[in-house]
């Protein structure tokens, strides 16, 4: 293998590992759950990478393999649709292995067997560069989806950044109750997060938007609503009715008093803490726009 081919394949393999690594540990439900407004989910993205990038560019464009039909793979966005029980991760790994066979057995200067209808790639070298770019872009998409699903980050923005010794940064919101495990299970259920640690005294939930810590306090007395609640949690939702149904099914309780029911509903968690489901990410200003 030439040094150039080794470098190109090494970069491509790095991006493929990123794709598989950022998805490691997600449940089947999480892999299939859309978290971005465009509606795609992680398994759909991986199937797209397997069929529209690996199979299409290497087995069809470069090698011209008989029986590889890009229209069949991608018609009606079929490269994004995942059926029940479909093992998309295995499909991606298999297509990677087949792509590598094509790459290793084809000189970099070899013209593709088929031409792309729009993009001009004169040789294998340019195709590999294209797929590196495509895979890196979609790995970044999966980074965003994973952080929204359970808070895990592949790239930590503040890692290695110097901070002053007196810096104070919010890391989580902590909630007391008679049973930390049960309280964490409730918040994981309603947010789609994951309980990453739990014992008799403490439990941690990582999910979209941040971390919630739950602490067992045997003589816990819940606050009253309406009344001097103090600090409470707000959760942003797209549909109040749908989110309310999820909260109630998980064991939450809706309070009778709802002062802003058109955009915000107040509930109690199993320990009695009030929290809100809200349609507002920012408080609208008087002219109707969200503040900067």
Residue 152 has pLDDT above 90, yes or no: no
Tokens encoding 227: 């009344």
pLDDT band at residue 117 under the 50/70/90 scheme: confident
The arrangement of secondary structure in 3-150, i.e. its CATH architecture, is Up-down Bundle (1.20)
Residue 135 has pLDDT above 60, yes or no: yes
- Homologous superfamily (CATH) of 173-278 is 2,3-Dihydroxybiphenyl 1,2-Dioxygenase, domain 1 (3.10.180.10)
Confidence (pLDDT) at 292: 36
- Domain ranges in the chain are 3-150, 173-278
Q: Count Cβ neighbours within 10 Å for each residue of 112-133 and write b for 16 or more, e otherwise.
A: beeeeeeeebeebbebbebbbe
Confidence (pLDDT) at 151: 83
Confidence (pLDDT) at 31: 95
The answer to whether the beta carbons of residues 205 and 187 sit under 8 Å apart is yes
Beta strand 210-216 pairing with 202-207: antiparallel
pLDDT digits (tens, 9 = 90+) for 34-47: 998 888 999 999 99
pLDDT, average across residues 177-204: 91
Burial of 274: CB neighbours in 10 Å, binned 0-12, 13-18, 19+: buried
Confidence (pLDDT) at 108: 96
Contacts of 161 (CB under 8 A, 6+ apart): none
Q: Distance (Å, rounded) from C-alpha 148 to C-alpha 151?
A: 6
Burial of 154: CB neighbours in 10 Å, binned 0-12, 13-18, 19+: middle
Q: Do domains 3-150 and 173-278 have the same CATH topology?
A: no
The rounded mean pLDDT for the chain is: 88
Confidence (pLDDT) at 290: 43
CA distances from 59 to 46, 68, 126 (A): 17, 7, 15
């Amino acid at each position: 293998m030439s040094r150039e081919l080794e470098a190109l394949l090494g970069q491509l393999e790095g991006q493929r590992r990123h794709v598989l690594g950022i998805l490691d540990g997600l449940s089947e439900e999480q892999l299939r759950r859309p978290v971005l407004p465009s509606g795609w989910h992680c398994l759909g993205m991986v199937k797209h990478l397997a069929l529209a990038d690996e199979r299409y560019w290497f087995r069809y464009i470069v090698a011209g393999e008989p029986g590889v039909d890009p229209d069949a793979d991608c018609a009606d966005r079929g490269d994004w649709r995942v059926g029940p029980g479909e093992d998309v991760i295995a499909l991606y790994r298999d297509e990677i292995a087949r792509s590598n066979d094509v790459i290793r057995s084809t000189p970099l200067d070899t013209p593709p067997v088929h031409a792309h209808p729009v993009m001009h790639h004169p040789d294998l070298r340019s195709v590999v560069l294209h797929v590196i770019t495509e895979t890196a872009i979609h790995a970044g998409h999966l980074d965003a989806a994973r952080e929204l699903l359970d808070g895990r980050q592949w790239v930590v923005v503040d890692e290695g950044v110097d901070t002053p010794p007196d810096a104070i940064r919010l890391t989580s919101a902590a909630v007391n109750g008679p049973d930390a495990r049960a309280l964490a299970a409730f918040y994981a259920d309603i947010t789609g997060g994951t309980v990453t640690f739990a014992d008799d005294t403490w439990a941690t939930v990582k999910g979209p938007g941040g971390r919630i810590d739950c602490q067992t306090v045997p003589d816990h007395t819940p606050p009253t609503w309406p009344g001097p609640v103090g600090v409470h949690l707000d959760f942003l939702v797209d549909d109040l009715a749908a989110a309310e149904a999820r909260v109630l099914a998980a064991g939450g309780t809706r309070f009778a008093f709802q002062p802003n029911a058109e955009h915000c509903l107040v509930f109690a968690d199993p320990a009695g803490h009030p929290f809100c489901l809200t349609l507002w990410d920012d408080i609208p200003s008087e002219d109707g726009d969200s503040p900067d």
